[in-house]
Structure 1
Amino acid sequence: MLKAEIALHDLSHQPEWREGALTIGGSRIEPYAHSALETLFAHTEGQWIFVVRERHASMSLHANVIDGPLDAQHFAELHRACVMWPLDYVMIEVAKAGHRIKIRAGMYGAAPLYCRAKTSALTLSWDLADFLAGPLSIDLDIASRFLALGSIYSAQHICSGITMLTERAMLFAEPGKAHYHYPAAIDTSAQSPEPLDDAEADEAFGKILHGIVSSRPTSSGRIATELSGGMDSATVACALTKAYGVVASKGILLDGDERKSQVARRTKIVERLRLIDETVDIDAHLPTLDLQPGETRVYPHAELYLEAFDSLWGKARAQGCELLFTGVGGDELFPTYQSETTRHTDTSGELVEQARYHATGLLTSRAQATVDSSRLFDAPAGPIPVSSLLAGTCQAPHLLRHGLWPVNPLSDPRLVAFCYRLPPASRHRRALMQRYLAASLGADVFPPNYAKETFSAVLPALISRQEQSLASQLRECALADLGLVDHGAVLALLREVAATRSDAPAAPLISFLWLERFVRQLA
């Protein structure tokens, strides 16, 4: 949401708004300029705050407004309102005495803020690429955990000296020291004391979802929505068309056996919602380790099909779209709790264990010892599903470069809290979502026996097709040179994925390929 270069001794100066940025002596804070965002500056005796936040449709606009000086009571009231802002935000708080600064993130994690704290200065940016221009080293301990499919979502970054400001967390700094504070965990699994019947649940779900997609001030021509053909993205598309009318949809078409059913389902959705649709074939962007001259778009947390998305995002922006809605978070929206019995056996845990077994086979003894002995602290459970927070680390910088602001309605805390408290019958096999889609699209689009299409079978197939090319690119291996992976084990895993096209060995190979590409970029 912002970029900043702040020398802590400059905090004694009075900030001034100049040419789209806040200047403090020789320091500068530049908000990300976007119609979905607004900035707010306010000060009182010895203190000031600077906020970049999502605009809310029901609230008045504060664009580059300088309020004050305010008395202590009004400043405290404004500060409290900023902390309680209902959408995403980043807030910088400064106390001139002692040159102290606090950076606070909202709960949505839509665009994570990367931070580097030095003895007397801070660098902040929504774009990790801003840190890649100078010398940067890999934290081998965190890289080992990454390769072992360990740490999920944490402030600790794979690049030494960089911290990621996660949702609801705070970074404090003053000359000579800095520290990070995680918020308390939030329990989102409590059951509702008064279960709703189907009709009440359906009405409440539709009302909450409509409120979420309508909470940003926008119009149909400025909206694009990702449409995979699955239930999650279809649900978001239905809600958007109800709120705004005709909107643009963008989708990646899968390869292999799942393509025919995906195309047929997407066709029905597009026709019935009157979407302005555009697609790209995933096999037009094959996995590779080749880097283009000067390329700085690669991140350690990302997907091998990100470049296919990147192609669609560029087209969306060229068409005038400014907000991109996604179905991220839908996989976690209807959990099954341990106390509940189901007719179907959950094999996800077994698959994770198999994937970690294959990941362990890649690691050198040194890297494995690091994994066994180190303790990393993941962000505590919060109101946003981890998948959405990870999506922010993967996609947000790329989206923001295209001028697109990401919105994930199915990850909104209001909807998450509601769905987590539904009775088992409404959560089982996403029954509530299926009823919503049947009412919006017709019962034939997602019938009771609907089988979800996923990328899980697609990526191993793409890797298999690229086996010889990847093997050639892996004649030299940066992660092996760092002592993290066994070069022979990497090639053996590549051959296994190419031969079996199995999910379990593909998962650690995909993580390896992306991290290998990222490390090569640094070299």
Structure 2
Amino acid sequence: MRSSPSGASIAATRRAIPPTPNRSATTSPAPTRSPVLALHFTAKGTGSWQCADGKLVRGDDSIVPLDHPMLTVDAFSSGVDHIALAILEHPAAALDERSLYLQHGDEDLVAQARAETENWPLHWLWLEASGGTIELRSSRWATVPLFLTGDATGARAHWDPVALYRWIRPRLDVELAAHYLRTFDLPYGPQTLFADLWRLAARHDARWTSGTGWRVRPYGAHPPDYPRVLRADVDPAAGFGALLRQTIDRALPPGPAPIACGLSGGMDSAAVTTMVAALGYEVRSFGIILPGAAGEAQAARRQAIAIDRVAADTPLAAAEMPNWTARLADPSVPFAPWEELQYEPFDRLYREAVAQGCRTFLTGLGGDELFARYRDEAEDGLDAPENAAVEDPAAARLRAELFTDLVLVDGAARSEAAARQLQHFAQPSAMDAVAGVAAQMLRHGLWPVHPLVSPELAGYAHALPLEWRADRRVLAELLAVQGVDERIARDPSPESFTPLFDRAFADCGVLEDLIEARALTAAGFVRPGAARRLLEARRAGAEDAGDLYLIAIAALEASLRAITAATTR
């Protein structure tokens, strides 16, 4: 844990984020144990909070702050049972090796610390406990969500949702699960698919009190920017490049430690990787190569980006990986349905990054959303409001065959509500993608950084006129300046994992077992035997076979089994 031993001036004791990280440092972040924020809190705890073995304890209550080279932790106390923690994403944290220290003062000290925390430009988490109440507040970033569970007698929180499975029931949130089964989508927000598990999403408060349990609420919207008139003297590509450079530079640690970059061969990851290299960091790139001709073209694009820019490139062949269903066969294996279903390829990729000394992993997530068209800019009016409610007859027929009214009726209501969720600086799909990869990276000790999902870049890109967002013209011109092969900018389609999913549909006993959907059938979501019949029709060559419905059923069924296994261990 890292914190300041002085409470006189909180700002003075935190290292300012340097505009240009110091590359001359002679030490690199040492490997640490898996980062943790584990909270166990009850109303029965008495006495004062104490520091012990890198955590805060009060009787049976405990708070274990995150421990990672990209984080600082400051702890404050203004009374016998009143404590507060500020946990900050901080690129210079690795240079501060001081242990967790509880600073004692008055209410003004805590108020000052909270105000400074809420003005921190990167990701942060504020925690405050007093008497029988605990309060949490998250930053506007979706970098690392916190998961919550508990009842009127006690509260628990953890960065890894799977770590909380043993304390929750295998019971789904009806409307959200119905929406997920209908759409294979989970709206970004505080409620998860499980009735007893919440997520402290970006710009949310969570409050637990004895007698009421958790209450999670948004504390402020951040409406996205919209297109504006471009000044004649503005170079959008140069402006975007400068912001991308600043965003990356302020987020990365000083020193010679290698930086991992996910490199798919597309424009988004290319822009991030080439900028990190241009800033002088030692870049290690990693990518999953798809099978067939698409993979060959992808490999060629990756090589064109990586050559002379990265210190080492590690491609992993997806064709050599197990089916995506293989890990679902064992309920004891960590699994949450909102995480990456192609878990094993990414797990191997993250293990390789750690083996090469990386502790920070950059992605190109969010690029699709940065340059998306607005509804009134849609080509041919296909996305116009009057067409938004047009139903696909084949999809409606499949849903009627598969699902009960619990999905067909309640799921439709939740789908309508999803369109009215809290506004953020980035689209909900981008926020959800960022939040969804956090736990898997952190299980390996990797801190995730997503430059394209930053408030500054999102605001700039959203404000650009359509002619600069269409076909990602801004990125294309930025990559041209970086000297990247024009094939990267001209690639007509992103990589698709469809061939990897198809392998399981062709022949997989694990999938056959999961789509029997025993738990979902018992809970009243799926009609008995319907998913099995759909899989058989799909294997027989039927069109419109509803692959996404089958995947959603398998994912939910596997997660319910994992929770059941955890609660019985």
Contact 1:467 1:495 (C-alpha < 8 Å) held by counterparts: no
Return closer, same or farther for 1:337/1:62 CA change in 2, 3 Å cut-off.
farther
Show the 5 A alignment for 1:200-349. 200-216=235-251, 217-219=253-255, 221-283=257-319, 284-288=321-325, 291=328, 293=330, 295-340=332-377, 342=379
Q: Between Structure 1 and Structure 2, how many residues are aligned?
A: 518
Show the 5 A alignment for 1:92-103. 92-96=127-131, 99-103=132-136
AA matched with 1:300: P
Q: 1:205-234, CA deviations, whole angstroms, 9 ceiling, x for partnerless residues?
A: 111111111113244533111111111111
1:466 aligns with 2:507: yes
Q: 1:279-332, CA deviations, whole angstroms, 9 ceiling, x for partnerless residues?
A: 222232313266455623111213331211011111111221101111111110
Contact 1:333 1:416 (C-alpha < 8 Å) held by counterparts: yes
Return closer, same or farther for 1:430/1:346 CA change in 2, 3 Å cut-off.
farther
Range moving further from structure 2, 175-184 or 67-76: 67-76
For 2:51 and 2:542, locate their aligned partners in 1 and report how far apart those are by CA, in whole Å: 56
Q: Secondary structure at the match of 1:214?
A: helix
AA matched with 1:316: A
Return closer, same or farther for 1:157/1:37 CA change in 2, 3 Å cut-off.
same
Return closer, same or farther for 1:439/1:85 CA change in 2, 3 Å cut-off.
same
AA matched with 2:357: G
Return closer, same or farther for 1:48/1:356 CA change in 2, 3 Å cut-off.
farther
AA matched with 2:461: C
Match of 2:146 among 113, 117, 126: 113
Q: 1:83-112, CA deviations, whole angstroms, 9 ceiling, x for partnerless residues?
A: 12111122111334xx32211111222221
Q: 1:57-79, CA deviations, whole angstroms, 9 ceiling, x for partnerless residues?
A: 59995955546433444432221
Counterpart position of 2:60: 26
Show the 5 A alignment for 1:33-72. 33-45=67-79, 47-57=82-92, 64=99, 66=101, 68-72=103-107
Counterpart position of 1:131: 164
Shift of 1:191: 3.0
Q: 1:434-462, CA deviations, whole angstroms, 9 ceiling, x for partnerless residues?
A: 11111213343324x42123325434533
For 2:541 and 2:268, locate their aligned partners in 1 and report how far apart those are by CA, in whole Å: 29
AA matched with 2:142: G
Q: Secondary structure at the match of 2:287?
A: strand
AA matched with 1:465: A
AA matched with 1:256: G
Return closer, same or farther for 1:101/1:331 CA change in 2, 3 Å cut-off.
same
Contact 2:329 2:510 (C-alpha < 8 Å) held by counterparts: no
Counterpart position of 1:362: 402
Contact 1:195 1:422 (C-alpha < 8 Å) held by counterparts: no
Contact 2:534 2:545 (C-alpha < 8 Å) held by counterparts: no
Shift of 1:372: 4.4
Return closer, same or farther for 1:484/1:345 CA change in 2, 3 Å cut-off.
closer
Shift of 1:52: 1.7
Contact 1:139 1:158 (C-alpha < 8 Å) held by counterparts: yes
1:395 aligns with 2:437: yes
AA matched with 2:199: M
Q: Secondary structure at the match of 1:224?
A: strand
Shift of 1:352: 10
Counterpart position of 1:158: 193
AA matched with 1:455: S
Return closer, same or farther for 1:154/1:356 CA change in 2, 3 Å cut-off.
farther
Contact 1:286 1:466 (C-alpha < 8 Å) held by counterparts: no
Contact 2:375 2:383 (C-alpha < 8 Å) held by counterparts: no
Q: 1:110-129, CA deviations, whole angstroms, 9 ceiling, x for partnerless residues?
A: 22111113213210111112
Range moving further from structure 2, 310-319 or 350-359: 350-359
Q: Secondary structure at the match of 1:75?
A: helix
Return closer, same or farther for 1:424/1:58 CA change in 2, 3 Å cut-off.
farther
Q: Secondary structure at the match of 2:488?
A: coil
Q: Secondary structure at the match of 1:123?
A: strand
Counterpart position of 2:4: none
AA matched with 1:491: R
Contact 1:186 1:383 (C-alpha < 8 Å) held by counterparts: yes
TM-score, normalised to structure 2, is 0.82
Return closer, same or farther for 1:427/1:392 CA change in 2, 3 Å cut-off.
closer
Shift of 1:371: 2.4
Q: Secondary structure at the match of 1:298?
A: coil
Match of 1:380 among 422, 425, 437: 422
Return closer, same or farther for 1:258/1:361 CA change in 2, 3 Å cut-off.
farther
Range moving further from structure 2, 429-438 or 130-139: 130-139
Shift of 1:36: 0.6
For 2:451 and 2:191, locate their aligned partners in 1 and report how far apart those are by CA, in whole Å: 27
AA matched with 1:444: E
Shift of 1:411: 0.5
1:522 aligns with 2:563: yes
Match of 1:168 among 199, 203, 207: 203
AA matched with 1:132: Y
Contact 2:364 2:452 (C-alpha < 8 Å) held by counterparts: yes
Return closer, same or farther for 1:42/1:421 CA change in 2, 3 Å cut-off.
same
AA matched with 1:302: E
Q: Secondary structure at the match of 2:114?
A: helix
Shift of 1:410: 0.6
AA matched with 1:81: E
For 2:391 and 2:291, locate their aligned partners in 1 and report how far apart those are by CA, in whole Å: 27
Task: State the Cα RMSD in Å.
Answer: 3.2
Range moving further from structure 2, 332-341 or 359-368: 359-368
Shift of 1:278: 1.1
Match of 1:187 among 223, 235, 244: 223
Match of 2:455 among 413, 416, 422: 413
Match of 1:424 among 466, 472, 479: 466
Contact 2:205 2:218 (C-alpha < 8 Å) held by counterparts: yes
